[in-house]
Structure 1
């Protein structure tokens, strides 16, 4: 199978036919003009994607590992969104070896939109399938110099609820609680806010004793109250 001609080009052509210049400009501005867009809004893109998958099918694992990097290097941002959804639809996170490529999807062409989608759609289920890797990788990421790996280490458990490894979450936050980086401060608050739905008193107590930015505290206590 010629990956580009047989899969990526037909997808790109389909998106191209739905290009909306006004929406594309607005979407690019929202992302601080870091990426170009076709200008396809999420509901419309989901319809297009379902139609495409019905026609072209889901790729094999071998083809998927060629398709994903190719999609990741394409100009328009919607193709990265498709890549994330495609990987999730193929249950790529069930492959132990998939973490190398998942990590590349975090650190390449990075911004909060794709990073958070990879975190929730691929990293979170990966560690549910391979929990023995969770601590090692999370500590590697939090110790790295890459802001986005740090953010994912902090936020990937945000939908785990009662399955959250509280000790791990709090320790990872401690390691980056003094960060001046907005996306880390916001990520800390976001992770704590989500966990607060499950264990509000513990989160409130943690925030009261742990030094962290005011932004992190406000986000953490947003729905449970408490002193910042």
Structure 2
């Protein structure tokens, strides 16, 4: 699948190899108790070259119609732009209710996303990125919600009343609560005041981050999945083998 010219890119160019080989942290995340044996994970190591996670947000988020570009919440989709293949991954809202949940986990642990071992990774190179999509990735009535909130722009370029990635941290229905609990810790949110309009969420790509490694998790007996190794060796990355 080919990306349109409107597809966002991160503010940090992924063309250099400064990030190559950096690994995300293992262990429990919002989506589960840990990684699974014999699986492949596409990673953006933490810290990704010491660059703040905010630099990889699409600001403002880029709303998409999943039906129009033929993507579903299951699995991953390979997309091509300017001759470079990228991995589009739909972040499930059953584990990450809001994009900020995923962003704050990535800040602490890096990005580590499981991909099917049968995925054709031959087009994945150090220039490739992971594009993260969430069903609450953008707010259709962003200007009204932003104007009614105490939103802070993560990149410092948007003001209240403008569409902005800062709305990921503006959470409705929290009452006086100003922190959200994650498996990896807590983070601060901005509750919407009672008079604010309800956000009208639409699916959007909220983060684009360079791929730093393709990691294979050893089987329980210490062996390496041949299918997983063959898949990764077709890419532009050397496989990184780690224990469960």
Instruction: Tell me if TM exceeds 0.5.
Output: no
- Which structure has the bigger radius of gyration? 1
TM-score (norm 2): 0.24
Higher-strand-fraction structure: 2
